Structure 1
Amino acid sequence: MIDHSANTKSERSFEHLRVLVVEDEALVGMLLEDMLSDIGCAHVEVLSRFADGLQAAETGSFDLAVLDVNLDGVASFPIAEQLIARNIPLLFATGYGVDGMDPRFSDIPTLQKPFFFSDLERVVSQALEGA
């Protein structure tokens, strides 16, 4: 599932990124951390709880955030609102597809689980271009 052949252009464009990942599934969090590092991101912080994610969104220094839509039964939309207020680009990761999305966030790029390396790279680029 992971294609480790990230191209040089992507590595250059993502090389200084500090990324916040808020994902309650440990294996998915580790996969995202590895894949984001593989595309060249400089630092990836993975948090698994809503409260920790909200605090990081309020005070952390990140260039991009990846939010699981459902964090142990709690929607991550308040975290997204905080990131948007701080002009931090974000993307959602979800297994629910568009049906699980709040219409207020229809312009935020969404990564459909399960995903491939190329999907993540594409959606990260979309999130950064839309910022």
Structure 2
Amino acid sequence: MELAGKHLLVLEDEYLIGLELERIAEECGAKSVHVVSTIDQLLDWIKSGQTCDLAILEVEARGVSSLKTASMLRSRNIPLLFTSAYDADLSGITEFAGTPVVGKPYGKSQIVQAVASLGSLTSSNRGSRMDDSSGELV
């Protein structure tokens, strides 16, 4: 998957990181990026019936897991990419086979690589995490 021409939804509770993800996506040619900072805002977006080509979700935003909302997005066939600063957050991700998880802190190359991997991951990558130093799935 590439970001060029795509509409993205981002859940990120840290304002500056949300801006950085928006910048990365726009540099990669994304058509639009909608950033929300809370699960409630994400639920409002889902209930509004809007759609996107990719959702980048922080595993835990302001102390609340995004996994239930991720399931809602997945049921609408929206590809997912997770971000997380804590290994402990990853315990519930095994139900999202083939969904990459990018560890914080991350840069443009890790996001681009994770997005590119969405079309090529197999079930053997279940619950994979991007290594921060190499950008490889581990």
Q: Is TM (by shorter chain) over 0.5?
A: yes
Equivalent positions of 1:1-131 (< 5 A) are 13-58=2-47, 59-97=49-87, 99-101=88-90, 102=92, 103-129=94-120
Q: Which string of whole-angstrom CA distances, capped at 9 and with x for unpartnered residues, describes residues 57-104 of structure 1?
A: 34221000000111111000011001110000010011113x321122
C-alpha separation in 2, matches of 1:96 and 1:122: 20
What's the CA shift for 1:106?
4.6
Q: Which runs of 5+ in 2 are unaligned?
A: 122-138
What's the CA shift for 1:129?
4.5
Identify, as 1 or 2, the structure richer in helix: 1
C-alpha separation in 1, matches of 2:85 and 2:26: 22
What's the CA shift for 1:120?
0.6
Cα root mean square deviation, aligned: 1.7
Tell me what 1:4 maps to. none
SS in 2 for 1:35: helix
Q: 2:98 touches 2:118 (CA, 8 Å); kept in 1?
A: no
**Aligned AA (1:90):** L
C-alpha separation in 2, matches of 1:128 and 1:60: 23
**Aligned AA (1:25):** E
SS in 2 for 1:107: coil
C-alpha separation in 2, matches of 1:112 and 1:57: 25
**Aligned AA (1:100):** D
Runs of 4+ in 1 over 4 A off after TM superposition: none
What's the CA shift for 1:14?
2.3
How many residues of Structure 1 are paired with residues of Structure 2 in the alignment? 118
**Aligned AA (1:88):** I
